[in-house]
Amino acid sequence: MHRSSRRRLTAVALSTVVAAAGTACSSGSDSSSTKDAAGGTYTIWDPYPQFAKNSAWSKLLDGCGTKAGVKIKRTAFDTSDLANKALLAAQQDNSPDVLIVDNPVVSTLAEAGVLTTTADNKVDTSKVDANLLAAGQSGGKTYGIPIGANTLALYYNKKILKEAGVDIASVKDWPSLTAALEKAKKAGKKGITFSAIGTEEGSFQFLPWFWGAGAKLTQLDSSQGESALSLWKDWLKRGYAPNSVLNNTQTTSWQEFATGDYTFAENGTWQLANAEKAGFDYGVLPIPGASGGNAAAPTGGEFVTVPVQGDTGRYATARKLVSCLTSTDNLYATDTTLSYVAPTGAVQDKQVASNAKLKPWVSAVKAAKGRTSDDLGIKYPKISEQLWKAVQSALSGAQSPKDALTAAQNAVK
């Protein structure tokens, strides 16, 4: 990559990054990005302000620096703020040596000329699951390596299912899931809660059903997409899902499930700790596809990337830092801390051996898909906005699912 490529950064790119910033996740340190001219200090930016200087994460970064023979200057930002800072730093030829960024933003930064490819820096991605790596690919090139992933699945209340006479093993597709909701309602229980709010969170939660029907983001108004939206609308009409889903965030949706009144809740890996505190016996089921199998759910999580540098001599050490951070031992420790599923089979096996409750999450992650996969790149935020608007319109009764998705597709065009 040439330095001139960074001049393509624009306000449009800035707004695109903000729109694509993650819904699934989010060290306190100073925000200066000054680098030692002699190369003895290397900068790492990450989206983990919750981890302070003395945290295990911060110590891991320092340890990787020591192993590479350099000092680490770490700066932590909020996810959306980090993306903006990365773009501005690139404009000023002052990018960090290593940038850990939310996966939907990778393709936008890549198209803006901010990032080098893994081929440029000989970063080994051969052990990473292909479906997870795809979130960091654009134009046939790979621009980083995932540090871990989270995704969506269905939490279920075992007591309610037992009282309703439902065997969870029978829930394998949409008809059997709807039948379970019907039995729960007849038993006087509430059905399923999720987030259909008019933001990226709403799109994020709708995508497993959209993709599970066989629909594609390049054609929002397909019959498959209509069937997915009709499923949700039918659930509201029948009282299997509450009207509150229209305003639910993933947090408020979880709070509904945590009351113990709901049979199912669509939510993420990040709620595992809260699930343990809920006070009732729960299970986790990968979201089923329309006709069976596991639906592709969107991935959350970050990629470790190497931004373009004016001094190309810094890349060799940056590669050492990336390799250290994504080694098997370090991925296991980091993904346990972040409640992520690891991006490699070897570490996933280690996680399940340590905690059997992660098994359905590994299955969900193996079926998952990046929101910007299929080379959508900077097109995704606009598509997503129209998708969540369509969901809101259909569920509120303003339009039929077909008309809502037709309007969405026309708006994208």
Residue 316 has pLDDT above 80, yes or no: yes
**Listed residues 330, 347, 367: the one ending a domain:** 367
pLDDT at 99: 98
Contact call for residues 42 and 73 (beta carbons, < 8 A) = yes
Same domain, 275 and 352: no
Q: What is the percentage of the chain residues whose pLDDT exceeds 90?
A: 84
Contact call for residues 60 and 325 (beta carbons, < 8 A) = yes
As a whole number of angstroms, the distance between CA 111 and CA 113 comes to 5
43-66 tens-digit pLDDT: 999 999 999 989 999 999 999 999
Judging by DSSP bridges, how do beta strands 282-285 and 152-157 pair with one another? antiparallel
As a whole number of angstroms, the distance between CA 297 and CA 258 comes to 22
155: tokens are: 């939490």
Same domain, 47 and 143: yes
pLDDT at 269: 92
375: tokens are: 């080379």
pLDDT at 66: 95
Determine phi and psi for 144, rounding to 5 degrees.
Answer: 165, -175
Q: Which residues pair with 149 in a beta bridge?
A: 341
392: tokens are: 């809101």
Judging by DSSP bridges, how do beta strands 302-305 and 98-102 pair with one another? antiparallel
As a whole number of angstroms, the distance between CA 108 and CA 99 comes to 14
What mean pLDDT is predicted for residues 10-16? 40
pLDDT at 13: 44
152-209 tens-digit pLDDT: 999 999 999 999 999 999 999 999 999 999 999 999 999 999 999 999 999 999 999 9
Residue 305 has pLDDT above 50, yes or no: yes
Whole-model pTM: value is: 0.86
pLDDT at 36: 43
Residue 32 has pLDDT above 90, yes or no: no
Same domain, 124 and 140: yes
Same domain, 390 and 336: no
Count of domains observed in the chain: 2
Contact call for residues 100 and 303 (beta carbons, < 8 A) = yes
List the one residue out of 26, 10, 51 whose CA is nearest residue 302: 26
Q: What is the percentage of the chain residues whose pLDDT exceeds 70?
A: 91
Instruction: Give the dihedral sign, CA 119/374/15/105.
Output: negative
Same domain, 159 and 145: no
Same domain, 49 and 38: yes
CA distances from 121 to 85, 99, 150, 318 (A): 23, 14, 26, 9
Q: Which strand (E) or helix (H) includes residue 98?
A: strand 98-102
pLDDT at 364: 95
Q: Would you place residue 39 in the very low, low, confident or very high pLDDT band (cuts 50, 70, 90)?
A: low
List the one residue out of 318, 377, 363, 380 whose CA is nearest residue 69: 318
Same domain, 266 and 405: yes
Average pLDDT, the chain: 90
61-78 tens-digit pLDDT: 999 999 999 999 999 998
Helix spans in 240-314 (H): 250-258, 272-276
100-144 tens-digit pLDDT: 999 999 998 999 999 999 999 899 999 999 999 999 999 899 999
Same domain, 81 and 160: no
Residue 26 has pLDDT above 70, yes or no: no
Residue 15 has pLDDT above 60, yes or no: no
Q: In what order do the strands lie in the sheet with 71-76?
A: 71-76, 41-46, 98-102, 302-305, 145-146
Contact call for residues 123 and 145 (beta carbons, < 8 A) = yes
Q: Within a 10 A sphere around the Cβ of 302, how many other Cβ atoms?
A: 29
pLDDT at 30: 38
Write out the residue range of the structural domain in which residue 84 sits.
Answer: 3-149+299-367
Q: Write the CATH number for 128.
A: 3.40.190.10
List the one residue out of 57, 29, 248 whose CA is nearest residue 148: 57
Helix spans in 51-199 (H): 56-68, 79-91, 103-111, 118-121, 130-133, 158-164, 174-186
Same domain, 388 and 243: yes
Determine phi and psi for 410, rounding to 5 degrees.
Answer: -65, -35
Residue 222 has pLDDT above 90, yes or no: yes
Same domain, 329 and 250: no
The mean-pLDDT minimum among 29-33, 35-39, 58-62, 308-312 falls in: 29-33
pLDDT at 378: 85
Q: Would you place residue 17 in the very low, low, confident or very high pLDDT band (cuts 50, 70, 90)?
A: very low
Same domain, 11 and 157: no
pLDDT at 19: 46
DSSP 56-71: HHHHHHHHHHHHHTSE
343-380 tens-digit pLDDT: 999 999 999 999 999 999 999 999 999 999 888 888 99
Encoded amino acid at 64, one letter: C
Residue 38 has pLDDT above 60, yes or no: no
List the one residue out of 97, 84, 117 whose CA is nearest residue 1: 117
Same domain, 324 and 212: no
Q: Would you place residue 10 in the very low, low, confident or very high pLDDT band (cuts 50, 70, 90)?
A: very low
